[in-house]
Amino acid sequence: ALPSVDIPTIVVIAQRPGADPETMANSVAAPLERRLGEIAGVTEITSTNSVGATSIVVQFDLDRDINGAARDVQAAINAATTDLPSDLPTRPYYRKFNPADAPIMTIALSSDTLPVREIFDAADTTLGQRLSQIEGVSNVTLSGAEKPAVRVDLDPVRLAAAGLSAQDVTNAVKAANVTEPTGGFQGPLQAETIGVNGQISRADQYRRLVLKAGGGAVLQLSDVATVTDGVANTRLAAWDGKQPAILLTMSKEAGANVIETVDRVRALLPQLMSWMPANIKLTVIQDRTATIRASVADVQYTLLVTIMLVLLVVLLFMRRLVPTLAAAVTVPLSICGTLAGMWFMGFLLDNFSLMALTISVGFVVDDAIVMIENIVVHMERGLPPLRAAIEGSRQIGFTVVSITLSLVAVFIPLIFMAGILGRLFHEFAVTLTMAILVSAAVSLTLTPMICGRWMRHPATPGAGRWAWVSGGIERAFDAVHRGYARTLGWSLRHEGLMLLVMLASVVLTIRLYGAVPKGFMPVQDTGILMGSTVAAPDVSFPAMEERQRAVVDALLSDPAVESVGSQVGVTSGWSSLNRGQVLVSLKPLAERGLSSEEVIARLRPKLARLGGIQTFLQSAQDLRGGGRTGGAQFQFVVISQDLGELRHWAQALEDKLKATPGITDVGSDEDRAGPQENVVIDRDAAARLGISATAIDAALNNAFAQRQVSTIYAQRNQYKVVVETDPALQTAPVMLDRVYVGAANGTQVPLSAVARFERADAPLAVRHQGQFPAATLSFNLAEGMALGDAERAVNDAAAALGMPPDVRTEFAGNARWMQQTAASEPLLILAALIAIYIVLGVLY
């Protein structure tokens, strides 16, 4: 619906399963951010560090080529490799991303019989890859599960009784699953390769893995662990309504036509689904093109009505067929010429370009009317039509050129305007300029030709079928003319007063410009709601699942809601275990009868009554800015070098904004600290037993981090072997007493013998902006509140708290774009006035 705005943005993703957020921030994000910050043209770097995952968003200057930026990002990742931990399962990778583009389509895959892991595997190997290959699709993201994996859930007590550690199991699994090259034979006439069954891929094969043998006894892996076919990460879930599902979210490439892209996807889906298991069901949760098609159709209808109204007015005032046709023909010719120019320049038919065409209809007939009026004047003086057309066009041609260039001059600043608004209005200004120039060419050539060839001297005034209309219009014009003559004469006799009135008008205009409420973009009703859910920091994954399902039930109970997709769990794109997402598709506007904002207002009380979870909803927009999105439309960032100080002031400002009139849905991505069990190593006791800190870290990693210790290589994909303590033994910190560490003499020592356990608080996620800890507060606007007024209210609230100098604040996303726009608007208006003055000065 909007012009394609490409904001060069790249997301760098790194994973270190089991690492806490602060460790991820210090050991993974910081080295990468230092290298990424050295790249030329970087405007913003933000990162989110959660348990085992880091996501860094790098935004570049609008003029930066995304492919060149991608090469620089890869070079920065390579340079940072030596500073990164050696136990990363994979190297950090990047993907291109455009924050200004909302997802174009989301589909859900579900089944009544298949487990989610098999649905994910089928979607990942078949559907996701083929959808990514479709022209116009840039990225396909799968959520709700991870790849299938063999899971080894250890019993630490049985392991210790057998004299083994979790590291021994890890080493045994690695040794049993190998894919080393084995070479071959080269005979005089025949060559032959050597194959070996060094890889095992099923849970039943791992159960029989021998860990220890001696004295006639054999200890298998199944004796000390439960081995199952599961998924690599058990703390992920997604739903299509109330049914567990896998969600596939698609975004489009820069410059791709969203409607054509979605049409290609829909055309290919039946074929792709025929390759999937028959008991997998596909549901389209969200299709962005539905409202885009309706919006474009509405603007096209408006354009048609505008053309008809303009022609009707021309006919009403001219009251003659040939002059009306001479003026009317400029409309289709100008639009056709403009469309040809748009095609040549690669523009799309979107709301902005269609709006430019609609506005141009009123402009394009002006030149023709001026030309026709002058030709008629010459005919009334007795000249024949052809001679009148020649003389009239020669006399008025310069005036038509002046009018045209004056109109074009207004749009010159828009054409060359920088920033995000410049990208938005460039197509609008160029389209309107082309329409005006084409109409001038038509008025100077075709209009005189039509008049000279087919126009005849008018009949006797007051005769014919238009007599009563002509008489009424002429009398009205005469009255206006007499009034104008009187006021003009009075004004000329009071020149000083008129000069004062002019100056007062200028001053009043400036004052009114400052007084008028200002915004960035009106809230769109796209028929799609995006939401985030937040629970207490100490919520467990099963409890979060239950509360998320309660939110889905509440949403589905609303009569305006058509479908709901939701997800919870920590991924590379979502920050912490206590947060989730919802995607709500509303019924068509004609069916629901309410705008999306009114639906949100109706849902707020219902969602507020749900215990233990908060839900923030916002209408999905075509234009979004910033490297981090929040639970509402606009963002305000608090930055500090001290994490504790940041948490304090972010919470204080959040409370202050919640009490600020005109601002609603205030939320923060800085959660209250969650509980953490610190393991404090007694280094003297550990040294006496020959136990290193590395061994203790490895024991904890093997026990609780869903450690991926080996890779199973299949024909179509790669799968992991995951080792951890039995989840049933991970329910409380007392389970640390069951962790054992191997001593130097080979015995298994309880962790409690070399460490003590302390209760503490720790962040669920650590976020950076510009390499410093940051918290993002998001908010929506109450009805009647303008964004400019809201920004002043937020700044006033921050100033009233008296934050220390080392705590900085700034707007982000659309709110920051609004600030930049407000700063450049007066210069834009001044530039337009100067351009008009220069053009008229040159012409006259």
Mean pLDDT for the stretch of residues 492-499: 89
pLDDT the model gives residue 297:
81
Q: What CATH number is attached to the domain comprising 98?
A: 3.30.70.1430
Domain assignment present for 751: yes
pLDDT the model gives residue 571:
62
pLDDT the model gives residue 88:
86
Query: Where residue 812 falls among pLDDT bands split at 50, 70, 90?
Result: confident
Percent of the chain at pLDDT exceeding 90: 28
Contact (CB, 8 A) for 761 and 772 = no
Assign residue 18 a region: left if phi > 0, alpha if psi is -120 to 50, beta otherwise?
left
In the predicted structure, residue 98 carries a pLDDT above the cut 80: no
Integer Cα distance of 299 and 309 in angstroms:
15
pLDDT the model gives residue 572:
46
Phi, psi of 740 (to 5 degrees): -120, 150
3-state SS assignment for residue 161? helix
Mean pLDDT for the stretch of residues 87-105: 82
pLDDT tens, position by position, 594-630: 999 899 999 999 999 998 899 999 888 777 766 566 6
CB neighbourhood size of 135 (10 A):
10
Instruction: Please choose, from the candidates 530, 363, 330, the residue with its C-alpha nearest in 3D space to the C-alpha of residue 449.
Output: 330
Q: Is the dihedral of CA 23, 813, 92, 103 positive or negative?
A: positive
Instruction: Please choose, from the candidates 706, 737, 698, the residue with its C-alpha nearest in 3D space to the C-alpha of residue 724.
Output: 706
Classify residue 591 by burial, with Cβ atoms within 10 Å: 0-12, 13-18, 19+: exposed
Strand 105-110 versus strand 246-252 pairing type: antiparallel
Strand 766-769 versus strand 210-214 pairing type: unpaired
Looking at the fold, whether 411 and 493 belong to one and the same domain comes out as no
Q: How far is CA 527 from CA 108, 249, 295, in A?
A: 18, 17, 11
In the predicted structure, residue 444 carries a pLDDT above the cut 80: yes
Lowest mean pLDDT among 211-215, 429-433, 464-468: 464-468
Integer Cα distance of 284 and 140 in angstroms:
14
Query: Where residue 465 falls among pLDDT bands split at 50, 70, 90?
Result: low
Looking at the fold, whether 695 and 742 belong to one and the same domain comes out as yes
Question: Structurally, how many domains does the chain consist of?
Answer: 4
3-state SS assignment for residue 566? strand
Domain assignment present for 37: yes
Mean pLDDT for the stretch of residues 468-482: 79
Contact (CB, 8 A) for 718 and 640 = no
In the predicted structure, residue 125 carries a pLDDT above the cut 50: yes
Domain assignment present for 483: yes
pLDDT the model gives residue 625:
65
pLDDT the model gives residue 95:
87
Query: Where residue 459 falls among pLDDT bands split at 50, 70, 90?
Result: low
Last residue within a domain, chosen from 719, 736, 762: 762
- Matching residue, tokens 């209009």: 447
Mean pLDDT for the stretch of residues 71-92: 91
Instruction: Please choose, from the candidates 42, 37, 142, 49, the residue with its C-alpha nearest in 3D space to the C-alpha of residue 628.
Output: 49
Contact (CB, 8 A) for 660 and 818 = no
Mean pLDDT for the stretch of residues 538-567: 92
pLDDT the model gives residue 485:
92
Supply the range of the domain harboring residue 69: 1-102
Lowest mean pLDDT among 112-126, 257-271, 510-524, 719-733: 510-524
* Cα 494 from chain centre: 59
Q: Is the dihedral of CA 636, 637, 638, 643 positive or negative?
A: positive
pLDDT tens, position by position, 138-162: 888 899 888 899 999 999 889 888 8
Domain assignment present for 22: yes
Integer Cα distance of 409 and 442 in angstroms:
20
Looking at the fold, whether 456 and 480 belong to one and the same domain comes out as no
Domain assignment present for 575: no
Looking at the fold, whether 337 and 385 belong to one and the same domain comes out as yes
Report the residue count for the chain: 844
Last residue within a domain, chosen from 460, 484, 510: 460
pLDDT tens, position by position, 778-802: 888 888 888 888 888 999 999 999 8
Integer Cα distance of 64 and 70 in angstroms:
10
57: β partners: 11, 46
Q: How far is CA 747 from CA 162, 163, 638, 690, in A?
A: 10, 6, 51, 11
End-to-end CA distance of the chain: 41
Q: Is the dihedral of CA 685, 688, 689, 690 positive or negative?
A: positive
Domain assignment present for 119: no
Instruction: Please choose, from the candidates 314, 319, 313, the residue with its C-alpha nearest in 3D space to the C-alpha of residue 471.
Output: 319
Looking at the fold, whether 348 and 394 belong to one and the same domain comes out as yes
583: β partners: 530, 565
Q: Where are the beta strands (DSSP E) in 571-630?
A: 579-586, 613-619
Looking at the fold, whether 711 and 728 belong to one and the same domain comes out as yes
Last residue within a domain, chosen from 102, 132, 163: 102
Strand 148-154 versus strand 718-725 pairing type: parallel
The DSSP line for 661-699 is TTEEEEEES-PPPEEEEEEEE-HHHHHHTT--HHHHHHH
Looking at the fold, whether 756 and 680 belong to one and the same domain comes out as yes
Q: What CATH number is attached to the domain comprising 699?
A: 3.30.2090.10
Instruction: Please choose, from the candidates 302, 280, 419, the residue with its C-alpha nearest in 3D space to the C-alpha of residue 360.
Output: 302
pLDDT the model gives residue 61:
86
Instruction: Please choose, from the candidates 110, 426, 501, the residue with its C-alpha nearest in 3D space to the C-alpha of residue 277.
Output: 110
Assign residue 253 a region: left if phi > 0, alpha if psi is -120 to 50, beta otherwise?
beta
In the predicted structure, residue 575 carries a pLDDT above the cut 60: no
pLDDT the model gives residue 330:
84
Integer Cα distance of 721 and 89 in angstroms:
12
Integer Cα distance of 251 and 410 in angstroms:
36
| pLDDT greater at residue 359 or residue 519 | 359
Integer Cα distance of 554 and 617 in angstroms:
13
Question: Residue 112 gets which letter from DSSP?
Answer: S
Looking at the fold, whether 167 and 52 belong to one and the same domain comes out as no
- Matching residue, tokens 């010459």: 378
In the predicted structure, residue 759 carries a pLDDT above the cut 50: yes
Contact (CB, 8 A) for 290 and 325 = no
| Mean pLDDT, the chain, integer | 86
Lowest mean pLDDT among 33-47, 371-385, 479-493: 371-385
Query: Where residue 844 falls among pLDDT bands split at 50, 70, 90?
Result: low
Instruction: Please choose, from the candidates 291, 424, 410, 326, the residue with its C-alpha nearest in 3D space to the C-alpha of residue 360.
Output: 410
pLDDT tens, position by position, 364-414: 788 888 888 888 888 888 888 888 888 888 888 888 888 888 888 888 877
pLDDT tens, position by position, 626-664: 656 667 788 899 999 888 888 889 989 999 999 899 898
Integer Cα distance of 636 and 71 in angstroms:
31
Query: Where residue 464 falls among pLDDT bands split at 50, 70, 90?
Result: low
Looking at the fold, whether 416 and 515 belong to one and the same domain comes out as no
CB neighbourhood size of 306 (10 A):
17
pLDDT the model gives residue 228:
94
Looking at the fold, whether 333 and 425 belong to one and the same domain comes out as yes
Looking at the fold, whether 346 and 388 belong to one and the same domain comes out as yes
Q: What CATH number is attached to the domain comprising 355?
A: 1.20.1640.10
In the predicted structure, residue 824 carries a pLDDT above the cut 80: no
**Structure tokens belonging to residue 38:** 């050295």
Looking at the fold, whether 481 and 410 belong to one and the same domain comes out as no
Domain assignment present for 562: no
**Structure tokens belonging to residue 633:** 């439309």
* Cα 812 from chain centre: 14
In the predicted structure, residue 554 carries a pLDDT above the cut 90: yes
Integer Cα distance of 121 and 53 in angstroms:
21
Domain assignment present for 622: no
